[in-house]
Amino acid sequence: MTTHLVWLRNDLRINDNTALAAACRDSHARVLALFIATPKQWQQHHMAPRQAAFIHQNLCSLQDSLAERGIPLHYHQCDDFAASVDYLSAFCDQHQVDELYYNYQYEINERERDAAAEKRLDGQGVICQGFDDSLLLPPGSVQTGNHTMFKVFTPFSRAFVRRLHQGLPECHHAPKARQDAPVSAGQKIPAFDYPLEAFDTSLFPAGEEAALKQLRHFGKQSVQHYPDVRDLPALDGTSRLSPYLAIGVLSPRQCLHRILKEHPDALNEGKAFTWLNELIWREFYRHLMVAFPALCKHQPFVEWTHNVQWQKNDAHLTAWQQGKTGYPIVDAAMRQLNTLGWMHNRLRMIVASFLVKDLLIDWHEGERYFMQQLIDGDLAANNGGWQWAASTGTDAAPYFRIFNPTTQGERFDEKGEFIRQWVPELKDVPESDIHQPQVWAKKNNKKLDYPAPIVEHKDARKKTLDAFERARSAA
C-alpha cells in the first residue's frame, strides 16, 4: 500500500483543498496529514497572538473532520522553517511516505523552505506535488500585453475578470471516508509554545462549518448591500471572512462560486461585483509579491521613497497605537483593533494615512503593529495596504493625497455612532461636535477626559508634503 502525506499550512479545511483532494484520489492509498508549528518563525513574522489562537482552534476542528474520514492528523512543533524541513524528512522516513502533497505559499521564506523540502525528499525517493490553491488564478497567469506583471490595479482587475469569463476555477469536494474510517482523532493538539490571546468567538467562530455558514449568509443577504454600506463602520456591512481566508479555512474559490450562485451577474459589474473586486485586490497583492520578491522584505516599491526622512517620535507612535491621538475616528478605530484584532477596511486606510501622513512615522511601524494585532494578518494584503496608504507602493495613493481625519470621520461616521462605541469618553458630546470634541468642550466650558490632538492636521500635511517633495528631488 502506498502512503500519501498532506503537509498542511495555511489551508486548514477539508472542502476545496487541492492538495488533500489529490492525495485522496487513490482510494487504496493510506493518507496521513501533518501540521508543523514553528513559533520562532511566527515571532519573526510578528504573528498576532489572536491569530495563533485562531489557528489552534481551527486546527483542532480540522483534526476531528479528518479523523471522520479516516485521515489522522499528526502534529509537531519546532523552532523554524529549517527545523520543519528536518522533521518532515524524518517523518517521511518513519512512516514510509511515497508521495507528499502540499499547497503553495508565496512568501519568500516559505518558498525557500518548500524548495529545500523538495530537494531533501527527492533524495529520499519521495515524490512531491505542489498546487496553486490559495488564489483564484496562479501568480503570473494575469499579465500585461508585454507579458509583465501589472503595476496598477484597475487594468489587472479587468484582465482578471476576462480570465474568469474564459473559465472559472473549480472547487474540489471534501474527500470521502477512507476504507478504514473513522479513525480516532488521537491526542488533542497541545497549545502552541507561543503567546495565545482570546478572540471574540461570536464574531469569528472557529471551524469550517462556521466559516461556510458566514459565507452563505453574506452571499444570500448582505453582499448586494455591500457597495452602499461597506465604508460605514457603525454598520455590520462587511463579510468578516478575512480571518478564514488568511489561514485557509475558506478558499477564494468557495467565495467566488457562492457569490455567483446567489448573484449570477456578479462578474458583469452587478452589485455583488464590488465585493468580488475586493477578492481581486487580494489576488493583486499576492501576484505582486511573487513578481517582486523584495516586497516580502518590506522594501518600498517606489524606489525614491527610500529617501523620505521619517520622524522618530515614540510618544506619537504610542498615542496612535493606544487610540489616544485626539482624533476620534482614528482613536475609535485603533481601539477596535486592539480589542478585536480586526478593523473595518475604511478605518484601516484612515489610521494608516494618519500615522504616515499626519505623524510622518515610517509605515513599517504601522505594518508591524497591524501584524502583531490582526486575527486576519496576511503579509501580502497588509504590506500592500500599508504601501498604498504610504504612497510607497504600486498603484499607491499619490503622496499629495492625504486624508483629513476629521472630515473622514464626518463622512463615514456622521453621527458618531462608531466613535461612541469605542471612545466612551465622548458619549456626552453632541452629534454635531463629535468629530471636534475639544472645540465643543472649550466653547461650553466642559472638561473632557480625552486628549487634545497630538498634531494639527493642516501643519502636519504641509510638513509631510515637504518631506516627500524633498525625497523625490533627491532621487
Annotated active-site residue in 386, 388, 422, 440: 386
Give dist(CA 390, CA 277) in Å, integer.
Answer: 22
Q: Where are the alpha helices (DSSP H) in 99-207?
A: 108-123, 153-166
Active-site residue (options: 10, 338, 345, 425): 345
Catalytic-role residue among 68, 197, 262, 278: 278
Total residue length of the chain:
475
CA atoms within 13 Å, Cβ hemisphere of 433:
15
Distances (CA, A) of 436 to 119, 177, 356, 417: 61, 61, 21, 14
Residue 29's identity, in one-letter code, is A
51 contacts: CB under 8 Å, gap ≥ 6: 243, 246, 247, 341, 374, 375, 376, 377
105 close to 139: Cβ distance less than 8 angstroms: no
What φ, ψ does residue 74 adopt, rounded to 5°? -90, 150
Given 42, 320, 363, 440, the catalytic residue: 363
Return d(Cα 308, Cα 469) in angstroms, integer.
9
> Which is the catalytic residue, given 7, 42, 281, 320?
281
> Which ranges constitute the DSSP H helices of 341-425?
345-353, 363-373, 379-390, 405-412, 417-422
> Is 320 a residue of the active site?
no
**310, 410, 417, 425: which is the annotated catalytic residue?**
310
Interatomic CA distance for residues 448 and 240, integer angstroms: 34
In the residue annotation, 422 being an active-site residue is answered as no
Is residue 322 within 8 Å of 301, Cβ to Cβ?
Answer: no
- Identify whether 307 is a catalytic site residue: no
How far is Cα 32 from Cα 15, in angstroms, rounded to an integer?
A: 16
310 counts as catalytic: yes
Cβ contacts of residue 210 below 8 Å, gap of 6+? none
Strands 3-8 and 99-103: parallel
Give catalytic residues, as residue numbers: 278, 281, 310, 345, 363, 386
